[in-house]
Amino acid sequence: MMVLYLVFLVAVAEGSCVLVQGDSILDSDLESVLGGASTQAAGRPLMRAPVAGARRWIGAEELTRLSGVRPAEMRIPPQGICVERAARHLDESLLRECLRKAIQDDTVSVEILDFSRYPLPEGQLQFLRSGLMAPPSARPDRAVLWRGRVLSDDRRTTPVWVRLRIHAERDLPVAARDLIPGKPLAREDIMVSRQRIFPLQITFADAGQALGQTVRRRVAAGEPLLASVLKKRRTVEGGDAVTAEVDHAGIRLRLPAIAETGGRDGEFIWLKPAKGGRRFRGRIQEHGLVIVEAESDKQTSDNASDDGAPLRSGRMAKTGSGTTLRD
C-alpha cells in the first residue's frame, strides 16, 4: 500500500493527471486510458469530478466497474490514474473588469485590497450590487467587502469575495449648520459642496430636492444630506383635528374628525369622527387635501381593514395647525 501511495505522489508531482473540465468525469475524458473499448456514446458520465483544483486517484478495479471496460482492454498503469479538476484563480485585472460592469460608472474610483485566492471552477464570474456592503456615511473611504460568485455551466455556484475601497466625488447638498429632526429644511439650512461619497448611496441632484423635508436624526454641519437621512414631512399627523367633507347620495356632509394615523401626499390615513363612531379613511392629495375613499375603491385597495366604514367621495381639511386648505 505504501508503495502505491508513493507511486501516486510521483505521478502527481510529474503532472501526469488527466484534466477534466466539468462537474463530472466523462468516459471521453479518459479516452487515452479506455481507448477504443470505451462506449460509443461518448460523453457518458462515470462519476463526480473532484472540487476545483483537487485531484482524485482512480484504480483499475473501480474504473472497470464504472465504465464496463475490462482491465485487459485498458491502457492504465497498475497503480491507476490521477484525475484533476480544471481550475482558475482570480486576478486583479479580471476582478476590475467584472466590478466595472457591475458599477457602470467610469467616474467611480475602485481600489482592490485583497480577494479570494483559492482555486475556482470554470464559469461566469458575477458581482451583483446586492452583495456590496456599504460603509458608514461618515466614512466613505473605509474598506468594504463585496461578495460575488462563479456560476458554472451546471448552475452550481462557488462564492468569491473582494475587499476594496470604492468612492466617487460629487457636488452634493450638505448641512449648512447642525440640523435636528422635526423641522422642515429651508434654503439657509442647505449648501452645496464637493464631497467624497460611497457611489451607490442615493443622493439628490440639487439642494432644491431636499427643501421641505426633515432629517431622521441629528445631522452635523457639513454632513451630506443623503436620501437615507431625509424624509418627507407628513402632511397630516396622527392626532390632528381635521374636517372631513363627504358627498353621500348627492348630499354634502361635514363633520369634525381626528386623524388616527399620519401620512404624506398620496398615502391613505385613517380618521374617526370627533364625537365617536366607526372610522373611515381617505387618500391624501397635494396641499393636504384628502379624498375620502369611495366604497368600490375600498374593496380593491391595499391595506384595507374590516373595521372601517365605506364612504362616498369627499374631502377633508386639516384644522387647528395654522394651515388653511381650500377646495
Give the CATH number of the domain where residue 246 resides: 2.30.30
Query: Mean pLDDT of all residues in the chain?
Result: 75
Select from 130, 145, 168 the last residue of a domain: 168
Per residue in 205-264, pLDDT (tens digit) is 577 878 888 888 999 998 888 878 888 777 777 787 777 767 667 777 777 788 888 777
Q: Rounded CA gap, 325 and 327, in Å?
A: 7
18-20 vs 81-85, strand pairing mode: parallel
Q: Identify whether residues 178 and 211 lie together within a single domain.
A: yes
Residue 251 lies inside a defined structural domain of this protein: yes
Task: State the pairing for strand pair 144-151/157-175.
Answer: antiparallel
- What's the pLDDT band for 23 if we cut at 50, 70, 90? confident
Give the domain-ending residue among 35, 56, 85.
85
* 146-163 pLDDT tens trace: 999 998 876 778 899 999
DSSP H or E run through 61:
helix 60-67
82-93 in b/e burial notation, b at 16+ Cβ within 10 A? bbbbebeebeee
Q: Residue 37: pLDDT above 90?
A: no
Q: Is the pLDDT score of 116 beyond 90?
A: yes
Looking at the structure of the chain, the number of domains it has is 4
Give the range of the structural domain holding residue 52, as residue numbers without chain letter: 17-85
Cell of 165: 475601497
Predicted confidence band of residue 6 (pLDDT cuts 50, 70, 90)? very low
Q: Is the pLDDT of residue 101 over 80?
A: yes
Same domain flag for 26 and 63: yes
Determine what percent of the chain is predicted with pLDDT higher than 70.
75
Predicted confidence band of residue 127 (pLDDT cuts 50, 70, 90): very high
| Amino acid identity for residue 185 in this structure | L
